[in-house]
Amino acid sequence: MSKQGTMDLTIGRPLKQILLFSLPLVLGTLFQQLYSFVDTVMVGQLIGSDALAAVGTSYSLNFLTLGFVQGACVGFGILLAQAVGAKDSGFYPV
């Protein structure tokens, strides 16, 4: 790790670097799934079947929104990675 808080992923064992890089993504996905599960259980137990049906219906909209945001982040990540590789500091804050 350098003094700027960045980490060079080209140094070290590739599998370890990939796993360390993907860990926050996996944890974020697990917490999102846990949130959905707890939400479904609480609504089903506390409010009733009509509210549970509404939660189930809104799942596809939630999935669409999250998919769009994650896709946009991946797309912008490519542009950012290219700018960092080209050392173009006009694209990102130093």
Which DSSP letter does residue 48 get? -
Confirm if 29 and 41 have CB atoms less than 8 A apart.
no
Give 10-50 pLDDT, tens digit per residue: 888 888 888 888 899 899 889 988 988 898 899 989 998 89
pLDDT of 68 > 90? The answer is yes
d(CA 18, CA 72): 21
Where residue 55 falls among pLDDT bands split at 50, 70, 90? confident
d(CA 56, CA 90): 45
- Which comes out higher in pLDDT, residue 85 or 88? 85
pLDDT of 93 > 90? The answer is no
Question: Which whole-number Å values give the CA distances from 14 to 10, 48, 77, 79, in the listed order?
Answer: 7, 49, 19, 22
